[in-house]
């Protein structure tokens, strides 16, 4: 017998609605309103999990977000979710949960051997054991360690649920709907402000439910419902089940609403969770406080619980957490909790308090209920391993801290512990406020606000109910003033309180009890960090709070040390002979509680992750068998694969057709920028390495832009359409970057230049017609216009009409063949494309894709992004002649630096495979037989024109090595291909084929 359901009570419970659920396969029952933790406790379940490192048996220790022990795998299949806090999991019919971190079963866990080996697993275990032993030792041991020390298992199945993201704007965001938060929200609503009240529990109200008081003659639950109705009626938005997890710059806060986590599965079209980005003019932080455990031998035994959790389980869920209870506290809250629980019908054996005396009214009330009070005493140890069997109570000298004689060793199945309260300063800390130590609280409270926030209630260190209500009202008024309301707005009365018990929750400064009998004294329950680990870290010099955290992993578990930080700081302070504020605390980082990736991703998953851009000829490509590939956001044909063909067959057929007859390729994705203004020529002259100021109207020119550091940035062409207007093309990948580059120079560097730039990438569709018969095909398609060599010489621009649509044609070649780029209005792209295909039929025109385009350009030694990789210069790729010496341009001076003129720089070369095997992209070049890398391969293809496997590569001193035999090594596949170095232009080196 341990926990059980009380015959009455439970503000959250609907006893008319029993719910069946399973834990580790065992059928159990709870009621609507239960959490998984309360239902397990009511069923007499004590052992619910195994600890992270030592696999110690653990039970429920909390009743809210602080839970460090009762972590379960919730649901199964694609919805299986590890490390779910049983205290925050609302019970639903058919819930399935499993204990985790145990093998083969919870009660018989083989891995508990770790506990016996614990000297091996002390602080700094990984560093000491594996540093210096070499990588091999680590790799061998890693899989065993990872199996032994881990928490729950996730799933590899795709998440079947929907997640949403939304923004909200408000005057006042109140975080936490306990007594302070409710009053603050009421006041802000009364002042006529737009209010959002977020609370992470299913039912707002916080610890007010647990107070045995009346407010204006109402029980807490009734008063809370009234307050919520008033807030909603005043236009306030109440978000239950919503954890505000992050405080970002500019008073922007992140929150996750668990819309359907309390259901077996979401209703149709209902999101599982919703992420809120809340923009608030003012924030009221009413985040409350979390009770601190005390550190003593065996303080992690299942059945040891925070006093506030024992009380909450009784008041909210009608659960007695034990049949025989001892309370151990360093403040009057322990006695008050004992009195409340006794009045709810529970059997309380003793209250143990290290102080010489407690509040006399409370002492009398304990006596009246027959509860034994042991002052000047502590719980020094626990008995029982898988469930608490009893405690050892010893005398204690509060001045010297020395343990005295045995007082008694009562049997009990629950021990409720209170070491005082730790304000939840996380959000304020995230917002850049360094927490300040409060001597009376023996804890940290939020420091000076740097964003627009106000704290109220226990979060600010106010622990009594009347004080919290008043502080909430005050914070609501402060928020109203911050939003421009006057003092008379937001005037609401404070509720009249009756039935409050005497005493104070301010603690006597006791954090730990000296060790007895060698049992571990836990500080961080979730990461299994003990008081000895803190001492060890200090002895080994990891005594700053930042080092302590990382060396012991204290506070680095999923609970971020909610119950452990202050105790750890106090222990370290004592070890170092300092005060807690001198030791200080680490800055809290978001998130306050774990946030699922699904909530952050929202709907942006799968093909909604990024937009897809299609050219006007997209459907034509697909209909003609094109295998499409992503090029950034664009979809482009890779090759048009005929039935029975492989990808390789297809691109060889396509590339051969371009060399022998004529081909057509969709180049609509190229970046296009309209550059206009009286200084347009001067502007391009400064950006490109070549001269553009004197480019005649009606001519295009190839150009390369450098970065300011002299490295190549992008290449393309500029067409001079009028004296003041150029059409600039960029690579597909750099369209956005080149536009931003131009805008930077026009606005920041040379604002005097009279130039305007506009992206016209998807204003014009483009297609390139290439091959010996390109002119014939184009002329046949043209209804108006002349592309004869006289009218349209190499790099010439002419206008015409195809399929009734105006077109602009430039004679440019990327393939090395006679070629024309044809641009038309975007919506006309398909009509012009089809007209060219039709006109080219007698010539056997062949559409070609990215693979053939790549083959053709490699055969010519033309560069793309694979060669402009952010490390290469014009000279490296053999375009040194394009660097004008007549004018300065962006990057020109920087190319004079020594490393740029180093003769050993890798430069562009060609490679031909000598043994017929394909060369692998990314291979490194070595001398035959191996040795140091001399360079690397950037692009490879089978060249139909040469009948050989060829590649482009960067090779140190490569211009002097043409003809040399080398090896292209790819160690990952253990491949070495014999190659000969050649000129990077494999085909038609004098360019005669395009000058016809």
Q: How far apart are CA 175 and CA 223, in angstroms?
A: 19
- Out of 137, 582, 893, 933, the only residue in the binding site for another protein (CB under 8 A) is 893
Tell the smallest beta-carbon distance from residue 114 to another protein (Å): 44
Regarding 701 and contact with another protein (CB under 8 A), the answer is no
Q: Given the complex with another protein, which of 498 and 893 has the nearer CB atom?
A: 893
Closest distance between another protein and the C-beta of residue 904, in Å?
20
- Residue from 897, 928, 933, 991 binding another protein (CB under 8 A): 897
- Give the binding-site size for another protein (rule: CB under 8 A): 31
Shortest Å, Cβ 472 to another protein: 21
Query: Contact between 450 and another protein (CB under 8 A)?
Result: yes
Only segment of 290-298, 344-352, 638-646, 890-898 that touches another protein (CB under 8 A) = 890-898
| Minimum gap (Å) between residue 680 Cβ and another protein | 16
Nearer to another protein, 252 or 866 (CB): 252
Q: What are phi and psi of 295, to 5 degrees?
A: -100, 110
Q: Cβ 550 to another protein, closest distance in Å?
A: 24
Q: Is 194 in the site for another protein (CB under 8 A)?
A: no
258 binds another protein (CB under 8 A): no
User: Which of 8, 27, 144, 249 touches another protein (CB under 8 A)?
Assistant: 249
Contact present, 87 and 258 (Cβ < 8 Å): no
- Interface pick for another protein out of 130, 248, 508, 942 (rule CB under 8 A): 248
Among 188, 280, 339, 580, binds another protein (CB under 8 A): 280
**Biggest CA-to-CA distance, the chain:** 115
Shortest Å distance, C-beta 887 to another protein? 8
- Candidate residues 5, 102, 162, 282; the one interacting with another protein per rule CB under 8 A: 282
Applying CB under 8 A, does 202 fall inside the site for another protein? no
Residue closer to another protein (CB basis): 252 or 436: 252
Would you give the DSSP letter of residue 297?
Answer: B
Other beta carbons less than 10 A from residue 78's beta carbon: 12
Helices 565-576, 531-539: axis angle to 10 degrees equals 40
Asked if residue 250 binds another protein (CB under 8 A), the reply is yes
Counting contacts by CB under 8 A, is residue 452 touching another protein?
yes
Is 749 a residue that touches another protein (CB under 8 A)?
yes
Over the window 656 to 685, marking each residue x when it contacts another protein by CB under 8 A and - when it does not, the resulting string is ------------------------------
* Angle, alpha carbons 958-960-964 (nearest 5°): 80
Contact between 751 and another protein per CB under 8 A: yes
Under the binding rule (CB under 8 A), the answer on residue 709 touching another protein is yes
Contacts for 275 with CB less than 8 Å, ≥ 6 apart: 163, 164, 165, 166, 254, 255, 256, 257, 599, 600, 602
Rounded Cα gap, residues 11 and 33, in angstroms: 9
Q: Does 901 help bind another protein (rule: CB under 8 A)?
A: no
> Contacting another protein (CB under 8 A), which of 789, 888, 965, 989?
888
Between 281 and 624, CB nearer to another protein: 281
Distance separating alpha carbons of residues 249 and 268, to the nearest angstrom: 36
* Residue 251 touching another protein (CB under 8 A): yes
Containing H/E element for 108? none
Should residue 451 be labelled a site residue for another protein when binding is judged by CB under 8 A?
Answer: yes
Q: State how far the Cα of 42 lies from the Cα of 314, in Å rounded to an integer.
A: 10
Overall size of the chain counted in residues:
996
Q: Report whether 393 contacts 296 (CB < 8 A).
A: no
d(CA 255, CA 170): 14
Nearest-angstrom CA–CA distance, 917 and 924: 16
Residues in contact with 193: Cβ distance below 8 Å, sequence separation at least 6, in sequence order: 170, 171, 172, 479, 480, 483, 485
Nearer to another protein, 434 or 628 (CB): 434
Of positions 16, 135, 400, 896, contacts another protein by CB under 8 A: 896
Q: Taking the complex as a whole, how short is the minimal distance between the CB of residue 699 and another protein, in angstroms?
A: 25
Shortest distance, position 884 Cβ to another protein, whole Å: 12
686 lies in the site for another protein, by CB under 8 A: yes
- Yes or no: say if 506 and 334 are a contact pair by the CB < 8 Å rule: no
Binder of another protein out of 748, 899, 932, 972 (CB under 8 A): 748
**Whole-angstrom distance, CA of residue 336 vs CA of residue 872:** 75
Q: What DSSP letter does each residue of 554-620 carry, written as one string?
A: TT-STTTTTTTHHHHHHHHHHHHT--HHHH--PPP-S-SS---HHHHHTT--GGGSS--B--TTHHH
Of positions 14, 747, 902, 960, contacts another protein by CB under 8 A: 747
Contact with another protein (CB under 8 A): which of 252, 323, 403, 536?
Answer: 252
**Which CB sits closer to another protein, 135 or 448?**
448
Q: Tell me the closest approach of the beta carbon of residue 486 to another protein, in angstroms.
A: 17
Residue 575 to residue 584: CA distance in whole angstroms: 14
Q: How far apart are CA 41 and CA 48, in angstroms?
A: 10
Residues 6+ apart with CB under 8 A from 489: 190, 191, 192, 480
Kindly list the residues in this chain that would bind another protein in the complex (CB under 8 A): 248-252, 279-282, 432, 450-452, 686, 708-709, 736, 740, 743-744, 746-749, 751, 888-889, 893-894, 896-897
């Amino acid at each position: 017998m341990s926990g059980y359901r009380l015959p009455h009570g439970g503000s959250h419970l609907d006893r008319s609605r029993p719910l069946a659920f399973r834990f580790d396969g065992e059928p159990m029952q709870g009621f609507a309103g239960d959490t998984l933790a309360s239902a397990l406790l009511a069923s007499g379940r004590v052992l619910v999990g195994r600890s992270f490192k030592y696999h110690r048996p653990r039970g429920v220790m909390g009743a809210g977000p602080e839970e460090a022990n009762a972590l379960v795998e919730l649901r199964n299949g694609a919805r299986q979710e590890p490390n779910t806090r049983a205290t925050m999991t609302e019970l639903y019919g058919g819930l399935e949960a499993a204990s985790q971190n145990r093998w083969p079963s919870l009660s018989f866990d083989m891995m508990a051997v770790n506990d016996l080996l614990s000297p091996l697993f002390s602080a700094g275990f990984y560093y000491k054991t594996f540093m210096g032993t070499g990588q091999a030792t680590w790799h061998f041991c890693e899989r065993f360690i990872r199996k032994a020390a881990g928490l729950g298992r996730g799933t590899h199945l795709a998440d079947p649920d929907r997640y949403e993201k939304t923004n909200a704007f408000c005057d006042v965001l109140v975080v936490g709907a306990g007594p302070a938060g409710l009053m603050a929200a009421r006041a802000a609503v009364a002042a006529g402000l737009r209010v959002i009240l977020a609370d992470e529990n299913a039912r707002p109200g916080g610890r007010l439910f647990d107070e045995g008081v009346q407010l204006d003659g109402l029980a807490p639950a009734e008063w809370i419902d009234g307050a919520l109705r008033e807030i909603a009626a005043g236009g306030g938005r109440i978000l239950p089940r919503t954890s505000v997890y992050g405080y970002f710059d500019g008073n922007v806060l992140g929150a996750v609403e668990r819309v359907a986590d309390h259901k077996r599965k979401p209703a149709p079209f209902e999101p599982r969770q919703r992420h809120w980005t809340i923009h608030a003019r003012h924030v009221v932080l009413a985040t409350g406080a979390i009770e601190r455990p005390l550190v003593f031998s065996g303080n992690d035994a299942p059945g040891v619980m925070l006093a506030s959790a024992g009380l909450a389980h009784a008041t909210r869920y009608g659960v007695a957490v034990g049949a025989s209870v001892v309370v151990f506290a360093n403040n009057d809250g322990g006695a008050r909790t004992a009195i409340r629980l006794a009045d709810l019908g529970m059997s309380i054996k003793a209250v143990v308090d290290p102080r010489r005396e407690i509040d006399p009214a409370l002492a009398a009330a304990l006596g009246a209920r027959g509860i034994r009070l042991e002052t000047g005493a502590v719980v020094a140890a626990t008995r029982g391993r898988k469930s608490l069997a009893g405690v050892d109570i010893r005398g204690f000298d509060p001045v010297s801290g020395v343990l005295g004689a045995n007082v008694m060793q009562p049997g009990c199945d629950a021990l409720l512990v209170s070491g005082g309260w730790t304000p939840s300063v996380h959000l304020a800390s995230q917002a850049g406020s360094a927490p300040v130590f409060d001597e009376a609280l023996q804890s940290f409270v939020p420091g000076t606000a740097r964003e627009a926030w106000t704290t109220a209630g226990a979060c600010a260190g106010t622990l009594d109910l009347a004080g919290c209500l008043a502080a909430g009202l005050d914070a609501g008024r402060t928020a109203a003033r911050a939003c421009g309301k006057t003092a008379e707005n937001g005037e609401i009365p404070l509720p009249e309180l009756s039935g409050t018990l005497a005493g104070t929750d301010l603690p006597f400064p006791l954090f730990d009890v000296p060790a007895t009998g060698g049992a571990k004294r836990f500080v961080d329950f979730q990461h299994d960090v003990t008081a000895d680990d803190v001492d060890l870290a200090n002895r080994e010099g990891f005594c700053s709070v930042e080092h302590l955290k990382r060396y012991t992993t204290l506070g680095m578990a999923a609970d971020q040390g909610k119950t452990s930080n202050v105790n750890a700081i106090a222990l370290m302070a004592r070890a170092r002979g300092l005060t807690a504020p001198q030791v200080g605390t680490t800055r809290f980082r978001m998130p306050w509680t774990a946030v699922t990736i699904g909530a952050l991703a929202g709907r942006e998953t799968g093909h909604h992750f990024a937009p897809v851009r299609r050219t006007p000829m997209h459907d034509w490509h697909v209909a003609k068998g094109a295998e499409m590939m992503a090029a950034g956001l664009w979809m482009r044909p890779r090759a048009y694969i005929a039935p029975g063909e492989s990808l390789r067959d297809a691109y060889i057929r396509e590339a051969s057709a371009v060399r022998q007859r004529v081909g057509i390729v969709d180049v609509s994705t190229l970046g296009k920028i309209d550059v206009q203004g009286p200084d347009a020529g001067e502007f391009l002259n400064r950006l490109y390495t070549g001269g553009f100021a004197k480019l005649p109207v009606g001519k295009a020119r190839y150009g390369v832009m450098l970065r300011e550091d002299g490295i190549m940035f992008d290449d393309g062409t500029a067409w001079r359409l009028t004296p003041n207007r150029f059409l600039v093309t960029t690579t597909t990948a750099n369209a956005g970057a080149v536009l931003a580059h131009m805008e930077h120079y026009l606005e920041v560097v040379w604002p005097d230049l009279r130039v305007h730039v506009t992206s016209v990438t998807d204003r014009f569709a483009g297609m390139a017609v290439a091959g010996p018969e390109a002119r014939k095909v184009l002329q046949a398609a043209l209804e108006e216009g002349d592309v004869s060599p006289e009218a349209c010489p190499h790099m010439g621009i002419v206008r015409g009409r195809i399929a009734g649509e105006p077109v602009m044609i430039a004679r440019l070649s990327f393939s090395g063949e006679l070629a024309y780029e044809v641009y038309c209005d975007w919506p006309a792209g398909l009509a012009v494309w089809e007209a060219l295909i039709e006109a080219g039929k007698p010539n056997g025109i062949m559409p070609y894709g990215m693979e053939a385009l790549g083959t053709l350009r490699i055969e010519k030694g033309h560069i793309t992004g694979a060669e402009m990789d952010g490390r290469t210069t014009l000279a490296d790729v053999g375009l040194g002649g394009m660097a004008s010496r007549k004018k300065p341009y962006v990057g020109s001076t920087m190319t004079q630096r020594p490393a740029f003129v180093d003769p050993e720089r890798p430069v562009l070369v060609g490679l031909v495979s000598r043994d017929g095997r394909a060369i692998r992209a990314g291979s490194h070049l070595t001398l035959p037989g191996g040795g140091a890398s001399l360079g690397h391969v950037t692009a490879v293809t089978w060249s139909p024109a040469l009948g050989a496997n060829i590649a482009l590569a960067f090779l140190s001193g490569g211009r002097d090595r043409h003809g040399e035999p080398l090896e292209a090594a790819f160690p990952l596949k253990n491949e070495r291909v014999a190659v000969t170095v050649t000129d990077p232009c494999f085909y038609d080196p004098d360019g005669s084929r395009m000058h016809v």
